[in-house]
């Protein structure tokens, strides 16, 4: 019955296939260790810690479809291609609707409540700020304070919703949201 396992040629051929497939499959994650990503990305609300996020994200695109303001986009290139990231370059905002976390089938976006939402922190370019304080007025979580006549972001309060950036009268906007300070929970199975 196990003739072909004893048949050396067949066995070696299959073992060769196995080694070839394993090597080529594992080369993809290993290549990433050699060429790590340079810049961090803003991930959608409730995204788990980055290493785990890359492992559990199915790249199914449901969060991309669910987002009403279309700020969640699939990543174009690189090792993490197809994983969702938040693109604020069109001046859209995150409305904290949490539809993306509801849509995620693998809990790569954990179903956190609105109160825990934190996808980044706004940063003000003081060279271009004209101190109009519109951002101060529009911020939904009151994350701005005044310091020597300049608006300053309180990093603990800011949730990175991009509303301040979208209302900023300066063009291009003087406020950009950065991924630092985001809330990245631990993963638990769905």
Q: Is 187 in the site for another protein (CB under 8 A)?
A: yes
H or E stretch including 173?
none
Query: Alpha carbon of 63 to those of 11, 106, 136, 161, 181: distances in Å?
Result: 45, 11, 30, 17, 22
Q: Is 91 in the site for another protein (CB under 8 A)?
A: no
| Largest Cα–Cα separation, the chain | 86
Q: What's the closest the beta carbon of residue 116 comes to another protein, in angstroms?
A: 21
Judged by CB under 8 A, the stretch of 53-61, 110-118, 141-149, 150-158 that binds another protein is 53-61
Rounded Cα–Cα distance for residues 190 and 188 (Å): 6
Rounded Cα–Cα distance for residues 24 and 19 (Å): 8
**Are 32 and 54 a contacting pair, CB within 8 Å?**
no
Instruction: Return the residue of 36, 50, 55, 112 that touches another protein, per CB under 8 A.
Output: 55
Q: Is 26 in the site for another protein (CB under 8 A)?
A: yes
Q: Is 12 in the site for another protein (CB under 8 A)?
A: no
Q: Is 116 in the site for another protein (CB under 8 A)?
A: no
Query: Alpha carbon of 86 to those of 44, 45, 47, 70: distances in Å?
Result: 6, 9, 11, 9
Q: What's the closest the beta carbon of residue 54 comes to another protein, in angstroms?
A: 8
Q: Where are the beta strands (DSSP E) in 54-160?
A: 72-74, 84-86, 121-124, 144-147, 150-153
Query: Alpha carbon of 166 to those of 55, 82, 91, 107, 174: distances in Å?
Result: 33, 26, 5, 30, 10
Instruction: Return the residue of 12, 40, 68, 145 that touches another protein, per CB under 8 A.
Output: 68
Q: What's the closest the beta carbon of residue 13 comes to another protein, in angstroms?
A: 8
Q: What's the closest the beta carbon of residue 70 comes to another protein, in angstroms?
A: 7
Q: What's the closest the beta carbon of residue 91 comes to another protein, in angstroms?
A: 16
Q: Is 112 in the site for another protein (CB under 8 A)?
A: no
**For binding to another protein (CB under 8 A), which residues are involved?**
1-5, 14, 17-18, 21-22, 25-26, 28-29, 52, 54-56, 58-62, 64-66, 68, 70, 73-79, 81-82, 103, 105-107, 187, 189-190
């Amino acid at each position: 019955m196990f003739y072909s396992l004893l048949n050396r040629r067949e066995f070696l051929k299959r073992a060769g296939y196995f080694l070839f497939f394993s090597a080529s499959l594992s080369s993809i994650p290993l290549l990433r260790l050699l060429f790590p990503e340079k810049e961090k990305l803003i991930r959608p609300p409730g995204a788990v810690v980055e290493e785990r996020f890359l492992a559990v994200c199915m790249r199914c695109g449901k969060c991309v479809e669910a987002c009403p303001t279309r700020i969640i986009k699939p990543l174009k290139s690189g090792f993490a291609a197809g994983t969702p990231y938040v693109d604020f370059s069109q001046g859209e905002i995150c409305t904290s609707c949490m539809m993306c976390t509801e849509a995620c089938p693998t809990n790569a976006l954990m179903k956190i409540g609105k109160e825990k939402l934190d996808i980044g922190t706004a940063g003000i370019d003081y060279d271009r700020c004209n101190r109009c304080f519109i951002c101060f007025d529009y911020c939904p979580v009151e994350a701005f304070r005044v310091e020597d006549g300049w608006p300053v972001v309180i990093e603990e309060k800011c949730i990175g919703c991009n509303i301040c950036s979208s209302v900023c009268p300066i063009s291009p906007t003087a406020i950009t949201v950065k991924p630092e300070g985001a809330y990245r929970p631990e993963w638990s199975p769905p």
